[in-house]
Amino acid sequence: MEIWTREKWESHIDKSQTAVYYLYTPMCGTCAVASKMMEVVAAMKPALPIGKADLNYEQSLAVDYEIESVPCLLIQKDGRIEHKIYAFHSVPYLLEKIG
């Protein structure tokens, strides 16, 4: 997973059929667990554009996308946000939501 800016995420909304953006903060314990899950997802879906960002540095994104808490996973399909996930139940659950 590479670190994306908001601009890079939004460019994937415009050009990718499906893309995933993982939002976290470094001091969040739940985010540490979710980060490990997302590393597994990224390894299992190498062709899928997956980015991540520390929400402390992308605060306008939190406001504009109405992010309620971290960790948060934004899944866009065909140019629109299809899922906004806050509870990272398991890797199979995340893979099912991503499709």
CA gap 12, 17 in Å, rounded = 8
pLDDT value of position 29: 96
Give all strands of the β-sheet with 72-77 in edge-to-edge order: 2-3, 50-54, 18-24, 72-77, 80-85
Tens digit of each residue's pLDDT (9 = 90 or more) over 16-62: 789 999 999 999 999 999 999 999 999 999 999 999 999 999 999 99
Q: What are the structure tokens assigned to 13, written together? A: 């909304």
Kindly list the domain boundaries of the chain, sorted by start residue: 2-98
Cβ partners under 8 Å of residue 85, min gap 6:
72, 73, 75, 94, 97
CATH pick for 2-98 out of 3.40.30.10, 3.40.630.10, 1.10.287.1770, 3.40.50.2000:
3.40.30.10
In this predicted structure, the answer to whether residue 68 has a pLDDT above a threshold of 90 is yes
Task: Note the pLDDT of residue 63.
Answer: 94
Radius of gyration of the chain (CA): 12
